[in-house]
């Protein structure tokens, strides 16, 4: 298998393994050139800053034959400063049919993928308001989900309609009107009402609140999420679903677990999904309690590979271990567990619980979740296996562009946010030198940033403060450059000389090495240092992603 296809796999499943090439997820700037539309989508401007989303109540009715949808959104918001125009995101070719506030229809103008709604009413600061947005149209259809985004119109093996959405990066505004930016999650959760032909079943996030048969041969399923949720995570699944339930005795009590799969896959799913409880046990131990007990945990079979849809994780790995039966690390350890169950569920902690304000900082989602694969390998097979798995995924690092992308324009950085960020986290673990302290760090991150949005800068500072060590140069090196640190060294007459090259200014990362087979720590700088030693051979500890180079 070629490296490019491996990388695509990484980008896709994630997202989360939507390891999206940096431009694949950007619908507005496929050429790579940034536009005004990118700025409208990716920044908090005057039309976004005065109001704060509190809740989405989404209603949608799809028509399989015409590949169209229609619906409404009741968007509750808090007024936090003097109102003006309101920017609502809804991507072409979808149409905003009407906007109603306090019983009055509002005027608006379209600018590409944005509607500027004129709010000509007096709205008291700190007041709670609700705007109703009616929408309809033929949403962008996903051609290769989840690598590209949009609605998915397909059929199961028996020929029954099977529908869903994959829209991370592309954005929830590909199908419903919203404030499409990660920094403003609905504080009071969301509901999703899906009306489908009565011979189909509709599944959504959270818990099923009611099922109402309609007089026209359709049925409306209402699902509700109590917790804050990313826009792109609110997803309908529609098909010939059957389900079963179980419970997990977790750190916060009884966690309800549900599984929704196509009838034809029921027995295979019941066997494969036995991996869920060991995963939950491992991740709760390392990351803290599952973040959404109120909404439950759910796996839903999807017509695409997978995605971290909060409390309704999309599963399409064909009930195989590995990534569609392959081991992305090349070590064999990745075939011991189902990649989509482990990776996408890891996003419940990193991505859904802790969310980046700007997708430029998506390594906070993907790097930590990629590292959750190493953690799970450790839970199942021990530390040596985990170290080997982590080193194995380095072959997928491209060092093409920096991991952190440009801010304010809805643009990610390199797909290296998966394997390279995970290797950086592993290096930090080595330098901390105390696995229990490192585990507590991961748990504290999920506790202190519980249901929160944040930035790379804030998390970087948090980690350094917690460890009592300044990791700023490590973050700058691995997140903001494409350079692999080079450890230059030479032996001469009982002395070893060493230094860092190909690094950011002031790079001073300590590194564990073997000198003639004996473990030692070096603290190189960018200037030559010397060490008296009888050793004549140096090996870098394989837990460090660097390039050693012996000079003659």
**pLDDT in the model for residue 263:** 95
**pLDDT value at residue 449:** 98
1: pLDDT confidence band, cut at 50, 70 and 90?
very low
Note whether residue 373 is domain-resident.
Answer: no
Question: What CATH number did the domain enclosing 124 receive?
Answer: 2.60.40.1730
| 13 pLDDT higher than 60 | no
pLDDT in tens, 431-481: 999 999 999 999 999 999 999 999 999 999 999 999 999 999 999 999 999
Would you say residue 102 has pLDDT above 50? yes
The two three-digit tokens of residue 455, written as one number:
């930035």
Structure tokens at 299: 């796996």
**pTM of the predicted structure, to 2 decimals:** 0.94
Question: Where a domain ends, among 313, 344, 375?
Answer: 344
Let me know if residue 411 belongs to a domain: no
Domain presence at residue 155: yes
pLDDT band at 101 (very low <50, low <70, confident <90, very high): very high
- Band the pLDDT of 23: cuts 50, 70, 90: very low
CB neighbour list of residue 122: distance below 8 Å, 6 or more residues apart: none
Assess if residue 241 is contained within a domain.
yes
Element (H, E) at 117: strand 114-117
Count how many domains the chain has. Answer: 2
Residue 70 buriedness (CB in 10 A; 0-12 / 13-18 / 19+): middle
Task: Assess if residue 214 is contained within a domain.
Answer: yes
- The pLDDT confidence band at residue 299, using thresholds 50, 70 and 90, is very high
How confident is the model at residue 100, as a pLDDT?
98
- Region 168-186 average pLDDT: 97
What's the rounded Cα separation, in Å, for the pair 152 and 149?
9
Residue 358 lies in a domain: no
pLDDT for the residue numbered 275:
98
pLDDT digits (tens, 9 = 90+) for 190-247: 999 999 999 999 999 999 999 999 999 999 999 999 999 999 999 999 999 999 999 9
Q: Which of 299, 320, 344 is the last residue of a domain?
A: 344
Torsion-angle region of residue 282: left (phi > 0), alpha (psi -120 to 50) or beta? alpha
Q: Say if residue 146 is preceded by a cis peptide, omega within 30 of 0.
A: yes
Domain with 527 in it: 486-550
- Asked whether residue 436 is assigned to any structural domain, the reply reads no
The CATH number assigned to the domain holding 499 equals: 2.60.40
Is 461 part of a structural domain of the chain? Answer: no
Query: Which pLDDT value is given to residue 552?
Result: 86
Residue that finishes a domain, picked among 300, 328, 344 = 344
């Amino acid at each position: 298998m070629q490296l490019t296809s491996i990388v695509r796999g990484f980008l896709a499943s994630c997202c989360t393994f939507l390891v999206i090439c940096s431009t694949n997820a950007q619908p507005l700037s496929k050429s790579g050139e940034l536009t005004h539309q990118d700025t409208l989508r990716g920044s908090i401007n005057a039309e976004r800053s005065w109001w704060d989303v509190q809740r989405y109540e989404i209603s949608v009715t799809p028509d399989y034959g015409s590949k169209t949808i229609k619906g409404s959104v009741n968007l509750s918001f808090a007024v936090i400063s003097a109102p003006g125009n309101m920017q609502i995101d809804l991507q072409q070719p979808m149409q905003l049919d009407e906007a109603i506030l306090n019983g009055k229809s509002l005027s608006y103008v379209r600018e590409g993928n944005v509607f500027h709604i004129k709010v000509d009413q007096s709205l008291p600061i700190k007041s709670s308001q609700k705007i109703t947005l009616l929408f309809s149209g033929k949403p962008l259809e996903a051609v290769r989900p989840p690598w590209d985004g949009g609605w998915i119109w397909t059929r199961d093996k028996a020929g029954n309609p099977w529908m869903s959405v994959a829209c991370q990066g592309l954005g929830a505004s590909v199908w419903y009107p919203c404030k499409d930016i990660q920094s403003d999650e609905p504080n009071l959760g969301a509901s999703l009402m899906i009306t489908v032909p009565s011979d189909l079943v509709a599944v959504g996030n959270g818990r099923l609140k009611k099922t109402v048969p309609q007089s026209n041969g359709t049925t409306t399923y209402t699902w509700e999420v109590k917790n804050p949720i990313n826009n792109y995570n609110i997803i309908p699944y529609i098909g010939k679903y059957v389900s079963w339930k179980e419970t997990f005795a977790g750190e916060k009590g009884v966690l309800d677990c549900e599984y929704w799969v196509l009838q034809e896959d029921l027995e295979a799913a019941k066997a494969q999904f036995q991996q869920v409880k060991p995963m939950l046990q491992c991740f709760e131990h390392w990351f803290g309690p599952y973040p959404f007990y109120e909404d439950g945990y759910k796996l839903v079979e999807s017509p695409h590979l997978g995605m971290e849809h909060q409390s309704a994780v999309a599963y399409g790995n064909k009930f195989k271990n590995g990534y569609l039966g392959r081991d992305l690390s090349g070590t064999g350890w990745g075939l011991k567990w189902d990649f989509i169950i482990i990776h996408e569920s890891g996003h419940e902690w990193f991505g859904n619980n802790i969310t980046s304000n700007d997708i430029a900082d998506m390594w906070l989602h993907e790097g930590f979740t990629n590292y959750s694969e190493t953690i799970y390998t450790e839970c199942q097979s021990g530390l040596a296996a985990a170290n080997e798995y982590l080193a194995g995924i380095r072959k997928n690092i491209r060092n093409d562009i920096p991991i952190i992308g440009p801010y304010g324009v809805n643009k990610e950085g390199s797909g290296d946010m998966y394997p390279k960020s995970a290797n950086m986290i592993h290096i930090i673990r080595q330098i901390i030198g105390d696995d229990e302290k490192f585990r507590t760090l991961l748990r504290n991150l999920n506790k202190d940033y519980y249901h929160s949005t944040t930035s790379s800068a804030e998390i970087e500072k948090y980690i350094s403060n917690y460890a009592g060590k300044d990791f700023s140069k490590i973050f700058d090196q691995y997140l903001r450059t494409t350079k692999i640190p080079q450890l230059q060294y030479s032996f001469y007459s009982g002395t070893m000389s060493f230094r860092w090259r190909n690094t950011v200014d002031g790079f001073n990362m300590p590194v564990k090495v073997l000198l003639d087979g004996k473990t030692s720590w070096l603290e190189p700088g960018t200037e030559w240092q010397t060490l008296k030693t009888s050793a004549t051979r140096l090996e870098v500890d394989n837990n460090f992603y660097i390039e050693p180079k012996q000079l003659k």
